[in-house]
Amino acid sequence: MSNFVELHARSAFSFLRGASQPEQLAEQAAALGMPALALCDRDGVYGAPRLFAAAKEHGLRAIVGAELTMLDGTILPVLVENRAGYRNLCRLITRAKLRGTKAEAPVAWEDLPEFAEGLVCLTGDEEGALRQALERGDLDAAESGVRRLRSIFGEGNVYVEIQRHLERGEQVVNGLLVQLAEAQRLPLLASNGALYAERAQRPVLDVLACIRHHTHLDAAGRLLACNNERGLKPARLMQTLFADLPEALANTGALAERLRFSMENLGYEFPRYPVPEGETMDSFLRKVTLAGARTRYARLGGPVMDQLNRELALIEKLGFAGYFLIVWDIRNFCVEHDILMQGRGSAANSAVCFSLGITACDPLANHLLFERFLSEGRKGWPDIDLDLPSGSRRESVIQELYRRYGRHGAAMTANVITFRGKSALREIGKALNLSPDVLSRFSGLYASGDFPHTLDLQAHLQAAGLPPEHPRAAAFLALYPRIYGLPRHLGQHSGGMIICQGMLDSIVPLEHASMPGRVVAQWDKDDCEDLGIVKVDLLGLGMMSVLQESLQLCGDRGRPVEMAALPRDDAAVFELMQNADTIGVFQIESRAQMATLPRLRPACFYDIVIEVAIIRPGPIQGDLVHPYLNRRAGREPVDCIHPLLESVLKRTLGVPLFQEQILKVAMVIADFSGDEAEELRRALGFHRSDERMRKVTVKLRAAMERKGIAPEAIEKVLRAVGSFALYGFPESHAISFANLVWTSAWLKVHRPAEFFAALLNNQPMGFYSPATLLRDGKRRGLRFKPVSVLHSQWKCTLEGERCIRLGLCLVRGLNAGHARRIAACRAERPFASLHDFRTRTRLDRDELRLLAGIGALNGLAEHRRDALWHVEEAVDPGDLFSWSGGQAGEPDAAGEAPLAPMTPGERAQADYHGTGLTVGPHPMEIVRADLPHVWRAADLPYARNGQPVLIAGNVICRQGPGTAKGIVFVSLEDETGIANAVIPATLFEKLRLLITQEHFLMISGRVQNIDHVIHIRATGVHRLAKPELHGSSSHDFH
């Protein structure tokens, strides 16, 4: 048996040029008995970490390589021999990528010599320069090309690649390749240029080719593959194919043996922190930690010092001091530049992080498990995620890191965008040449989000007009699962940043992100974590911006508030939560959270931590919510599953809600060691591998059985663990979030004007539209004044104790520069008239109409229509854009506008059109008289349970959570509040388009009032058709 090794394979990480995941390639190569496999993705090592991980599992050796796009358009495959070669490959790709554009970044031939050390090159397949020269009969070019490669890569490092795909005519070129190799005394190397793992994946490759060439299968012709011979082939088949060239096969094994580079150790080092002279990083960390602890803790005594010493000792032992210091440094930058920052994630379990000011909650006071953050058995770096205000403040932190570590020393982690959902189906449909009408109807069936699971794909296709008997329906159905999850293109992670001691581009190739000024690595955060590269998550949170701005406004008004000093026992804040009056409050404003609050009735800070953690897919799917609420209400006894688990689960009434509890459960009930618990943690967080989860579950079950745990308890434990695999919150993370919940709720209660102004200034964010926020503010007694050119600034501002002046930032279509010009002109001197305003601000006509329409010019005109009448007049003869061609300056100001003022309905329509909200009456209030049988949201508490009612309003939210088994929640807003309806799956499927498309709905159903949480169980849904109804658009989460 020959030891054939495929040394030229491409995965789907070649983005539309390969049809299999690296994991599939590894599995197939192992199944075929190959000892190794080389992955040469196009212009990168995107798939290398995944191949490396999968290969390890299958006992295969992963060889790193890449196909380089050269300046002349030809493709040069290179393989990595050693660490120097890997470093050179990464730097070569980075140089090309950062020199070129996102779309095109070829490697220059002259760059190759500098980076050739440690690399072996193949002459390539049909896209290679050598094959192309031979195919056009240019033997001279072929010979000189080979000589050039030999001079660049050196003797023994150039292989003439020969492929046989059973295509007519290939023997001619292959014959020439053999002759050339003999003449130049170069070794031949057989490969199959694998583009997929198995033959069955060839259709996927054809579809990807169509997507890449913007065509469809009927028109693609010769752009498609001519047969299905580009898969991984067994040695036996390759021996038959290359029976005449045994040395070409033998060379694959020999070369594979030579290529010993492994991704096990990339030589990555986290940057060293520059410490003062005489200090080491460890000593300096101790010094700054203790200094911080003195300000954080009232008494720096026994337990605190013990914990700090324990943590510092472990940090020193693991060599992580530099990491902590650098994160501390980022924190200091934020403090110096007035950027609100808070650490989240498991870092909140660390007293060192708390002392350094990285996190806001005291792990000792909250009894948090430090081992969840850092343990001796832990592989890889600990996670420290930093929440920052979204927008420019976060960007300034990111840019500071680029500045400190250089473009080649820091990068955002990638976010691999994969084929999924309706966009994937749209692309497959286009490739199959289905009519645009069918495709748009298909997309229309999904108002947003991914597939709801209430209808299978076939039924959806049928509803879109593609019946099962359609000649292409079968292909459509077969392709989707094969293409689902394949990489489509590379994006950037929202906040994950990696930095490196020395050059990061020696570890991973870097390239431009779509966003100007950003550099992105070729791996995602999981790949980086797997390879031991430290990631610092700089996450943007809209609520952080709101809090920062609120606190600023409080300070400006002479009523400063310090976030850390807020009392945690404020009854009014708890009352707000118990009444579910939480629109605008961080995390607990969603419909599901608001439906839980009156049942959970938070009465202390830890209740908020539970509230944050319990409404997550994990606990919901694991059926943990109801048991917890029932136990809390005393409706069922507390059950800690097993007496051994009482100490772990008692504080959550026997319901495991936090990751820490799950780990502790495993340690207590299954005697898992720290390392095994760590393995469980990784499996819980490792969404990509069901296999990993299955293995750890088997281990857990076996351990519990060995320990004689009752089968019923085993099943309960395993179910709880399984739920957390879907999504479970670490307790420390929940505490960090609860901190933000508390602050935002406190501000809503005690500083509503500042809070609502900041909320409106930081849109879009959160669960609700500005219109709903404004209405909620009004219910809290705030007064909102409309946008006015005489008073408004760019942002919403405070006028008096409880009054907010809407800002020009809310005007849709008003240029920000023009808006600021209005404020600047007004600051010089007030506007004397509309003519004066127009002359000085020189806004364009559309902006003037917009402002007039929303009443922003009302101080300069009688009413909105008066303003609309006058803005159409020419200001001066030079007004080339005037319809009248400029007829004289001062308009007929004396003449009154002959137009009638707008009606309330017209004003509401103009407001929603121009700003998306109105300070006037709610549209439902305008039509209320016509709807005598419709219940107002505020009146629903007076309905008896089970009473049939009719509700109506502006659809502000449609939600079809994956955990709800097809049930859809619809929130209707009227002038008194929000009514929530529950639409059963069958009714939703019947009226899907009506429910997802209409802005105003009328829903009939029966009242369901449980623990003061009111829902309407819908029995019918109807369109509410009134010409006066114009509302805000809905936030949909299907």
Partner 1 sequence: MFCALFSPGYRLAAALRYREESLGSRPAAVVDSEGSATVVVERTPAAASAGVEEGMTPTQALARCLDLQILSRAPAAERSLAETLLGVACGASAYVEATAPNLCTLDLQGCRRAEGMDWAAWGEALRARVAALGLGARLGIAGNPDLALLAAQCADAENPVRAVADAPRFLAGLPLRLLSPSAPVAAVLEGWGVTTLGELTRLKRVQIAARLGPEGARLWDRACGRSTRLLRLVRAPERYEEAFDFEQALDTAQPLLFLLRRFVDQLAARLDDAGLVAGEMRLALPLSNGARYERLFQIPSPTANADVLFRVLDTHFESLRLEQTLVGVRLTVEPVRPEHRQFRLFENALRDPNRFAETLARISAVVGSGNVGVPELKSTHKPDQFTLAMPDFGAPPAPALPGGPAAVGLPLRRFRPPLPAQVHEAAEEARRPRYVVSEQAHGRIVDVLGPYRLSGDWWETGWSAEEWDVQMEDGGLFRLSRQGAFWTVEGCYDV
Helices (H) and strands (E) in the chain, counts: 43, 23
- Beta bridge partners, 524, equal 414
Binding segment (CB under 8 A) for partner 1, from list 52-60, 225-233, 548-556, 670-678: 225-233
State the nearest-atom distance from the C-beta of 172 to partner 1, in Å.
Answer: 5
Closest CB to partner 1 among residues 733, 864: 864
User: 3-class SS at 230?
Assistant: coil
Closest CB to partner 1 among residues 437, 646: 437
Closest CB to partner 1 among residues 723, 954: 954
Of 285, 194, 277, 207, the closest CA to residue 234 belongs to: 194
- Under the binding rule (CB under 8 A), the answer on residue 862 touching partner 1 is no
- Under the binding rule (CB under 8 A), the answer on residue 135 touching partner 1 is yes
- Under the binding rule (CB under 8 A), the answer on residue 172 touching partner 1 is yes
- Under the binding rule (CB under 8 A), the answer on residue 445 touching partner 1 is yes
- Under the binding rule (CB under 8 A), the answer on residue 993 touching partner 1 is yes
- Under the binding rule (CB under 8 A), the answer on residue 1010 touching partner 1 is no
Binding segment (CB under 8 A) for partner 1, from list 88-96, 149-157, 222-230, 1030-1038: 222-230
Binding segment (CB under 8 A) for partner 1, from list 328-336, 778-786, 799-807, 877-885: 877-885
How is residue 859 annotated by DSSP? G
Compute the half-sphere exposure of residue 903: CA atoms within 13 Å on the CB side of its CA.
8
User: Phi and psi for 882 in degrees, rounded to 5?
Assistant: -75, 140
Strands 6-9 and 36-42: parallel
User: 3-class SS at 487?
Assistant: strand
Tokens 């943990």 label which residue?
624
Of 659, 720, 646, 660, the closest CA to residue 368 belongs to: 660
- Rounded Cα distance, 960 and 969, in Å: 6
Please answer whether residues 512 and 403 qualify as being in contact, where contact means their C-beta atoms are separated by less than 8 angstroms: no
Closest CB to partner 1 among residues 399, 440: 440
Contact pick of 144, 399, 440, 1019 for partner 1 (by CB under 8 A): 440
Q: Which residues in the 695-724 window bind partner 1 by CB under 8 A? A: none
- Under the binding rule (CB under 8 A), the answer on residue 853 touching partner 1 is yes
Residues in the chain: 1038
| 198 burial via Cβ count (<10 Å: 0-12, 13-18, 19+) | middle
State the nearest-atom distance from the C-beta of 195 to partner 1, in Å.
Answer: 15
- Under the binding rule (CB under 8 A), the answer on residue 848 touching partner 1 is no
- Rounded Cα distance, 431 and 793, in Å: 50
Contact pick of 298, 880, 929, 1025 for partner 1 (by CB under 8 A): 1025
Residues near partner 1 (CB under 8 A), total:
61
User: 3-class SS at 356?
Assistant: coil
Closest CB to partner 1 among residues 141, 220: 220
Tokens 């959160």 label which residue?
766
- Under the binding rule (CB under 8 A), the answer on residue 874 touching partner 1 is yes
Closest CB to partner 1 among residues 83, 999: 999
Strand (E) or helix (H) holding 64: strand 61-69
User: Sheet harboring 783-785: ordered strands across?
Assistant: 783-785, 803-805, 797-798
Count of other CB atoms within 10 angstroms of residue 221: 8
- Under the binding rule (CB under 8 A), the answer on residue 444 touching partner 1 is yes
Strands 1035-1037 and 977-983: unpaired
Contact pick of 138, 247, 279, 437 for partner 1 (by CB under 8 A): 437
133 torsion bin: left (phi>0), alpha (psi -120 to 50), beta (else): alpha
- Under the binding rule (CB under 8 A), the answer on residue 997 touching partner 1 is yes
| 184 burial via Cβ count (<10 Å: 0-12, 13-18, 19+) | middle
Closest CB to partner 1 among residues 135, 400: 135
Evaluated on CA atoms 236, 241, 244, 250, the torsion sign reads: negative
State the nearest-atom distance from the C-beta of 805 to partner 1, in Å.
Answer: 24
- Under the binding rule (CB under 8 A), the answer on residue 999 touching partner 1 is no
- Under the binding rule (CB under 8 A), the answer on residue 472 touching partner 1 is yes
Count of other CB atoms within 10 angstroms of residue 401: 22
State the nearest-atom distance from the C-beta of 366 to partner 1, in Å.
Answer: 50
Closest CB to partner 1 among residues 581, 873: 873
Contact pick of 849, 922, 936, 1015 for partner 1 (by CB under 8 A): 849
Closest CB to partner 1 among residues 642, 849: 849
- Under the binding rule (CB under 8 A), the answer on residue 962 touching partner 1 is no
Closest CB to partner 1 among residues 202, 599: 202
| 946 burial via Cβ count (<10 Å: 0-12, 13-18, 19+) | exposed
Contact pick of 185, 214, 222, 367 for partner 1 (by CB under 8 A): 222
Question: Where would I find the H helices in 845-903?
Answer: 845-853, 864-871
- Under the binding rule (CB under 8 A), the answer on residue 169 touching partner 1 is yes
Please answer whether residues 372 and 420 qualify as being in contact, where contact means their C-beta atoms are separated by less than 8 angstroms: no
State the nearest-atom distance from the C-beta of 838 to partner 1, in Å.
Answer: 14
- Under the binding rule (CB under 8 A), the answer on residue 223 touching partner 1 is yes
- Rounded Cα distance, 922 and 346, in Å: 45
User: 3-class SS at 844?
Assistant: coil
Cα distances (angstroms) measured from residue 470 to each of 425, 462, 473, 477, 940: 16, 10, 5, 11, 49
Mask of contacts with partner 1, 182-221, x by CB under 8 A? --------------------xx--x----------x---x
Q: Does a cis peptide bond (omega within 30 degrees of 0) precede residue 764?
A: yes
Contact pick of 264, 691, 844, 892 for partner 1 (by CB under 8 A): 892
Contact pick of 883, 929, 930, 933 for partner 1 (by CB under 8 A): 883
Closest CB to partner 1 among residues 455, 665: 455
Cα distances (angstroms) measured from residue 507 to each of 43, 100, 453, 692: 15, 20, 41, 27
Please state at what angle helix 731-750 crosses helix 659-669, rounded to 10 degrees: 150
Q: Which residues in the 893-912 window bind partner 1 by CB under 8 A? A: 895, 898-900, 902, 906, 910
Closest CB to partner 1 among residues 151, 903: 903
| 12 burial via Cβ count (<10 Å: 0-12, 13-18, 19+) | buried
Closest CB to partner 1 among residues 58, 441: 441
- Rounded Cα distance, 415 and 657, in Å: 29
Q: Which residues in the 928-957 window bind partner 1 by CB under 8 A? A: none
- Under the binding rule (CB under 8 A), the answer on residue 994 touching partner 1 is yes
- Rounded Cα distance, 599 and 676, in Å: 37
Closest CB to partner 1 among residues 220, 305: 220
State the nearest-atom distance from the C-beta of 1033 to partner 1, in Å.
Answer: 13
- Rounded Cα distance, 727 and 656, in Å: 13
Closest CB to partner 1 among residues 84, 473: 473
- Under the binding rule (CB under 8 A), the answer on residue 231 touching partner 1 is no
State the nearest-atom distance from the C-beta of 450 to partner 1, in Å.
Answer: 18
- Under the binding rule (CB under 8 A), the answer on residue 958 touching partner 1 is no
Closest CB to partner 1 among residues 59, 898: 898
Closest CB to partner 1 among residues 776, 873: 873
State the nearest-atom distance from the C-beta of 447 to partner 1, in Å.
Answer: 9
User: Phi and psi for 385 in degrees, rounded to 5?
Assistant: -105, 135
State the nearest-atom distance from the C-beta of 996 to partner 1, in Å.
Answer: 7
How is residue 856 annotated by DSSP? T
Q: Binding residues for partner 1, per CB under 8 A?
A: 135, 166-169, 171-172, 202-203, 206, 217, 221-224, 226-229, 240, 432, 436-437, 440-441, 443-445, 471-472, 475, 849, 852-853, 865, 868-869, 872-874, 882-885, 887, 892, 895, 898-900, 902, 906, 910, 991, 993-994, 996-998, 1023, 1025
